[in-house]
């Protein structure tokens, strides 16, 4: 039976579900959604302020002339299937893992737009290289960016290794979770390459000649687009890698607002600080006070907040309306701040220890969706540039 809400409708497009299984041979268990806890919190808060919220997958957009879509709604603490009206506002949290899923998601968004001109809550960003190039155009942001190059084979790698003898850092332009990120260092016993492979497993190899290094990197990169940056000493006093994850979001007025920040600390010896790679999250002010002092920590976070707000405006200016950004920063032991990357589908896990930030991280997209639905027109124009982009989620 179809639901007929009287309120505005928010549809959340999630990643494709895996088929449920029952090991006991009994009834199938209730479905578990991708980002299940996050979607539950969004749904509960939406319901509490009068927004009708449901989840759906791209494969459930069947086309034709139907004004309904199959999906899931949270009732009595369980996800229940049903048929729901086409959304007024669409929140894309899908994570396509294959080219087929990417195409499916793209077609689903286009088909829904044909059936009903929904408002896209969150735009998307392209790969890291394009984001870097856009931020670099802003003269007030460029000083915060590490030099970034596209990997184009052994000749570029050789040239950059001569330019940055302290080492290089390579990562996929469209990667996430630290997967496929490697560090290249020259030591007395040879060339050290360490980091994580594309399955997020630890990786460490040693080569005693440069030609073998180039062959390894070329095989490792394969056909993917990779970026190269100088290796930056972004470690704390204990030698562990760490970064600062910032969440900045639109509030109910449609203005950018700083939601919160956390320090992510990697495992000892890890090149990255990503939580999926075994890292841990800590209160940003407390963690930075341990690294520096209270006054310096406050000043660093103030600068990071200013850079985040300017970066949000710059990216939105070029790529079209955005609702939220996760921005990652590295800090050298001398206090030098580097903006490492930005993504438009940020996770919330790093902020779970900050009760206020965790609450705002849920409430702000819902309140912004209510604002957009009430006006039934974008507060910021949807850019042609966004139609090509579906971005990964970054915890």
Of residues 358, 315, 283, 270, the one with CA closest to residue 122: 315
Cα separation, 232 vs 339, in Å, equals 12
**CA-closest candidate to residue 11, choices 77, 60, 75:** 60
Q: 196 - beta bridge partners?
A: 202
Distance CA 392, CA 390 (A): 7
> H/E element holding 297?
helix 294-319
Determine whether domain 9-17+29-122 maps to CATH 3.90.1300.10. Answer: no
> Beta partners for 291?
none
Tell me the pLDDT band of 393, cut-offs 50, 70 and 90.
Answer: very low
Give me the sign of the Cα torsion angle 121, 126, 129, 131. Answer: negative
**Per-residue pLDDT averaged across 267-292, rounded?**
84
What is the Cβ-side half-sphere exposure of residue 292, based on CA atoms within 13 angstroms? 17
**pLDDT tens digits, residue range 99-140?**
898 899 999 999 999 999 999 999 889 999 999 999 999 999
181 CB-contact burial (10 Å; exposed 0-12 / middle 13-18 / buried 19+): buried
Average pLDDT over residues 261-273: 84
Angle, helix 355-375 to helix 36-48, in steps of 10 degrees:
60
pLDDT, tens digit (0-9, with 9 covering 90-100), for 151-183: 999 999 999 999 999 999 999 998 777 789 999
Taking 50 as the threshold, does the pLDDT of residue 271 lie above it?
A: yes
Considering only CA atoms, which of 265, 261, 269, 330 is closest in space to residue 298? 261
What's the pTM value of the predicted model, to 2 decimals? 0.88
Least confident of 63-67, 310-314, 345-349: 63-67
DSSP state of 235: B
- Parallel, antiparallel or unpaired: strands 324-331 and 280-283: unpaired
Residue-wise pLDDT tens digits, 73-104? 999 999 999 999 999 999 999 988 888 988 99
Q: Estimate to the nearest angstrom the gap between the alpha carbon of 214 and the chain centroid.
A: 30
Residues 16-53: tens digit of each pLDDT: 987 654 444 555 566 789 999 999 999 999 999 999 99
Domain coordinates in residue numbering, the chain:
9-17+29-122, 136-143+234-374, 147-230
Report which of 92, 48, 54 is spatially closest to residue 72, judged by C-alpha positions: 54
96 phi and psi angles, rounded to 5 deg: -65, 130
CATH 3.30.300.10, applies to 136-143+234-374 = no
98-130: b or e for each residue (b if 16 or more CB lie within 10 Å)?
eeebeebbbebbeebeebeebbbbbbbbbbbbb
pLDDT higher than threshold 60 for residue 1: no
Cβ(362)–Cβ(369) under 8 Å?
A: no
């Amino acid at each position: 039976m179809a639901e007929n809400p009287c309120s505005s409708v928010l549809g959340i497009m999630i990643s494709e579900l895996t088929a449920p299984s029952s090991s006991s041979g009994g009834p199938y268990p209730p479905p578990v959604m991708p980002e299940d806890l996050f979607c539950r919190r969004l749904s509960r808060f939406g319901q509490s302020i009068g927004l009708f919220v449901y989840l759906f997958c791209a494969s459930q957009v069947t086309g034709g002339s139907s004004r309904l879509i199959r999906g899931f709604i949270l009732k009595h603490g369980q996800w229940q299937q049903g048929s729901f009206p086409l959304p007024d506002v669409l929140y894309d949290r899908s994570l396509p893992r294959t080219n087929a899923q990417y195409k499916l998601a793209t077609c689903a968004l286009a088909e829904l737009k044909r059936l009903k001109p929904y408002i896209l809550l969150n735009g998307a960003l392209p790969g890291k290289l394009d984001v870097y190039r856009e931020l670099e155009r802003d003269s007030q942001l460029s000083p915060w960016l590490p030099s970034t190059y596209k990997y184009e084979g052994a000749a570029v790698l050789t040239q950059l290794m001569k330019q940055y003898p302290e080492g290089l850092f390579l990562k996929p332009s469209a990667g996430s979770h630290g997967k496929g990120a490697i560090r290249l260092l020259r030591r007395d016993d040879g060339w050290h390459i360490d980091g994580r492979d594309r399955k997020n497993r630890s990786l460490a190899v040693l080569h005693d000649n440069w030609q073998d290094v180039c062959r390894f990197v070329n095989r490792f990169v394969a056909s993917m687009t990779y970026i190269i940056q100088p290796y930056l000493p972004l470690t704390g006093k204990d030698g562990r890698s760490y970064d600062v994850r910032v969440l900045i979001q639109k509030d109910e007025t449609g203005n950018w607002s700083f939601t919160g920040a956390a320090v992510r600390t990697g495992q000892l010896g890890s090149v990255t600080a990503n939580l999926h790679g075994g890292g841990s999250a800590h209160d940003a002010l407390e963690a930075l006070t341990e690294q520096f002092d209270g006054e310096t920590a406050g000043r660093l976070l103030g600068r990071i907040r200013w850079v985040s707000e300017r970066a949000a405006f710059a990216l939105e200016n070029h790529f079209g309306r955005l609702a939220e950004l996760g921005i990652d920063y590295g800090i050298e032991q001398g206090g030098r701040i580097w903006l490492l990357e930005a993504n438009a589908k940020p996770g919330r896990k790093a902020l779970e220890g900050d009760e206020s930030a965790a609450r705002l991280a849920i409430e702000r997209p819902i309140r912004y969706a209510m604002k957009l639905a009430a006006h039934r027109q974008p507060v910021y124009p949807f850019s042609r540039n966004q139609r090509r982009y579906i971005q990964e989620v970054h915890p």
